[in-house]
A and B are shown apart, each in its own frame.
Chain A
Amino acid sequence: MKPIFMTYTKKDLINLAVCMVLSVLIIPTFIKTEYWYTSILIPWLCLALATIGQQIVMGYTGQLALGAAGFMAAGAFAMFNLILRVPDLGFVGSLIVSGLIAAAFGILFGLPSLKVRGIYLMVATLASQFFIIWMIDKFGWFKNYDSSGIITAQDIVILGKPFTTPLAMYFVCLAVTTILTLLAMNMARGSTGRNWMAVRDMDIAAESMGVSLLRTKVQAFAISAFYCGVAGALFAFCYLKSLEPVAFDIKLSFKILFMCILGGLGTINGAFIGAAFILLFPVLLNAIGNNVFHGAIDATIISSIEQVIFGLLMIIFMIYEPLGMAKLWENLKQSMRSKLSSSGIKGVKSPVLKK
C-alpha cells in the first residue's frame, strides 16, 4: 500500500482516526470514573511510550537492553529539577529537555553495545539501571534536599493553564504519546528504521553497505532513552504525582521488557498491546479474586499467581510465537480474511488480487 500522508497508508490513517475519535471523544464522554484515568489510561499511555523506547532499541535494533526504568527515572527527576530551577522553560520545554537528558545517559550506557551483544549487553545496561537510581538517591541535590524520600511532583501548567484534573492529565499524556508515536512510526518506516533493522538482522552486512554500527546503535539508544525519559516524566507527574527513585527499580524495567516482548518485538502497535495486557491483566485477576472468591485469596497470592502467568506466557510465546501478540493479531486477521475470501463472499477482495 502506498503512503498517503507522511509514511502513513490509508489504513493507518483510518486506524488513527478511529483511535483519535475513541480517545478524544468517546472515552471522555462515557467514562466518568476517575479510577479509569488515574489507574489505567494514564499509566497505560506512559508505559506504552516507554515500551516504544524499548522497542526501538530492542525490537528494531536488536540490542538486548534492560534498563528502561533507569532512563525513566532520569527523565522524571530531570523534569522535577527543570521545573524547580528553570521555570522559564515551561512544561513542554522541560519535557523535551528531560528527554534529552535521559538520551545523554542512553548514549553513555549504550556505548558497550558496540563491543558486545546478547546477555553481555544486558549486564552492561543493568549498570545504567542501578547507577542512575543510586545517583538520584545519594545526591540530595536531585531531590532538592528533601529528607522524606518522596517528593510531590509540581502541578502541570501549560501556557498558564493548570492541568490537574485526571481528565486534563489524560489529555496531556494522550497528546504527547500520540505525537511521539507518529514520529516513531515515521522513523521506523523510513531510512532510519531500515538502518536499525539491518543492524538487528545482520550487522556485518549492514556495515558492508555503509551503515555505521556506531552511529546506528548509539542513535537507537539515544532515541530509546529519550522516549523512556519523556515517559518517565509523564509517569511521575501524571500517574505517581510524586518522585521517588524506588518507583523506577529493576522490576519496572522487567515489566517494560515483558510489555515489549509479549506485545511483539519490532512493532509500534505491539507496545500498546503489550502495555495494555501487562497493566490490565492484574486488574482482571484482582477482580476475579474479589468477585469470584470474595477475597478468600490473599492479595499477595494473587500477585504471585500473576507473576507465574506472566512468566508462563513469556515461555509460551518464545516457543510458539516469538514475535508476540501483535503477530498473533496479524495472523488472526490474515486467516479471517483468507477464510472470507475462500468462502466466496462478495465484496471482500483476496489479498492477492489487491496487490
Chain B
Amino acid sequence: MAYERKFKIGKPILEVNNISLAFGGVKAITDTSFNVLEHEVRAIIGPNGAGKSSMLNCINGIYKPQQGTVSFRGQVVPNITPNIMAQMGLSRTFQNLALFKRMSVLDNILVGRKLHTKTNFLEVALQLPKVKKEEKLNRERSEEIISFLEIEDIKDTPVGKLPYGLQKKVELGRALATDSSIILLDEPMAGMNVEEKRDMCRFILKVNDELGTTMVLIEHDMGVVMDISDRVVVLDYGKVIGDGTPDEIMANQKVIDAYLGVEH
C-alpha cells in the first residue's frame, strides 16, 4: 500500500494466547496464538474446518476455550462474554448470517446502536424528550451507514426477505453501527460475485482508512486476501502454520502444502 495512512498501524489491540478448544473429541483449535495490531487489516485464512470461525467465537466469548486467554489492549479479559467484548469495543459478523430476520434493515442497524442508547424502558414508554433526542441521533448515524453501504432503497424491508449478498452488507452495517474500534468479519464476501466483492472490499478499506477501525477478516478468496490485508495468519487443523505479510505467506512452504493438499 503506497499511500500515506491516516491511522498508523500501532500496538497490538487484540492478542490471542495459547487458545485450545475441543468439542467432545474434536479438537477445533490447538494451542494457537497470534495478535492483531491497532488499525490494521488482518486476515485469517485456512482450509474448511481449520477452526477459523471457532477462533472468532472464542475471541468474542461465544465459545469458551478449554485453555488460553484473550487480551484486549494489553489486558487479559477475564470471563469473556459477547456482551463484555461488545462493551470493550469489539463487534463482529457471522459466517452463516445472524441477522434479526423479522426486523427491517434500519432496525437491524439500529440494534447495533444499542451501546449508544442509555435510556431505560420506562423512559422509552413515556417517550421523554431525552429518548427522542437519543433516538434521533441513533437514527441519523444509522442512516449514514445505510447510505455509505448504498442500501437506502431497502432500508424498510425485513432482512429475511433480502438476497444473501444484501444480507451480508446489512450485517456489516450492523457491526459498523456499533462504532467499535475492532470488527471481526467471518467470510463477509462468501457467495458474492466479483462486483459485489469489489464493493465489499471498498467498504472495508474505506472504514479502516477513514475511521481507523481495526479489521479482522476470514476469507477464502486469496486474491481478495492478498489485496486488502496488511498481515495474514494461516490456520490448518486448528494450528497456526503461517503468520506474516501477504508476500511472506505466499512464499511459505507449509502454507503452500496445506493448500495443495486440500483442494479449493
Contacts and interface: CB of A to CB of B under 8 A. Distances in A.
Complex contact flag A–B (Cβ < 8 Å): yes
Interface string B105-125: 001001111110101010011
Contacts of B156: 355
A140 B188 CA distance: 63
A24 B157 CA distance: 37
Nearest to A5: B127
B62 to A, nearest CB: 6
22 contacts: A190-B127, A190-B135, A191-B117, A191-B131, A191-B135, A194-B103, A194-B107, A197-B102, A198-B100, A198-B103, A202-B100, A204-B82, A205-B98, A206-B100, A207-B81, A208-B60, A208-B62, A209-B91, A209-B114, A209-B115, A211-B83, A211-B114
B101 A202 contact: yes
A186 B111 contact: no
Given A190-B135, A210-B115, A202 B124 contact: no
B235 to A, nearest CB: 21
Nearest to A212: B83
Contacts of A195: 111, 114
Contacts of A191: 110, 113-114, 117, 119, 124, 131, 134-135, 138
Q: Report whether over half of chain A's contact residues are helix, strand or loop; otherwise say mixed.
A: helix
B195 to A, nearest CB: 26
Instruction: Kindly state the interface size class of chain B when it binds its partner.
Output: 35 or more
Interface string B66-97: 00000000000000011101110001101000
Among A184, A195, A210, the one with the most B-chain Cβ atoms within 10 Å of its Cβ is A210
A213 B113 CA distance: 16
Nearest to A197: B103
A204 B62 contact: yes
Contacts, number: 101
A201 B102 contact: yes
Contact of B92 (A201, A208, A266): A208
Nearest to A199: B100
B260 interface: no
Contact of B100 (A201, A213, A219): A201
A202 B98 contact: yes
Contacts of B117: 191
Given A205-B98, A208-B60, A210-B86, A192 B124 contact: yes
Contact of A204 (B98, B110, B178): B98
